[in-house]
Amino acid sequence: MALRHKSAQKRHRQSLKRRMVNRSRKSTIKTYTKKALETITAGADTSAADIAAAQSKAESLIDKAAKGSTIHKNTAARKKSRLARAIYKAKAAQLA
């Protein structure tokens, strides 16, 4: 189906731009979530401040994506909860 109307062409261009921005944000969230998990699993050489900073950065990106409706707010809450739970589990495993 060819886009014949100017308004349809513009909306299509806009949707492609939004798609690229949204994909970039989602990718960044995944990257920083993995970095936060790697920080805790790196071993005893990482401080609690480093772990908290990594978790804070990941949660901040998740919140910003939810605020801009890149992801749904419930999805953001679920991602943050899973991240916190994984970090808590990793800390407990290190102490045991």
Q: pLDDT tens string for the chain (96 positions)?
A: 678 999 999 999 999 999 999 999 999 999 999 999 998 887 667 788 888 999 999 999 999 999 999 999 999 999 999 999 999 998 888 777
How do the domains of the chain map onto residue ranges?
47-96
Amino acid at 71: I
pTM of the model: 0.86
DSSP characters over 57-78: HHHHHHHHHHHTTSS-HHHHHH
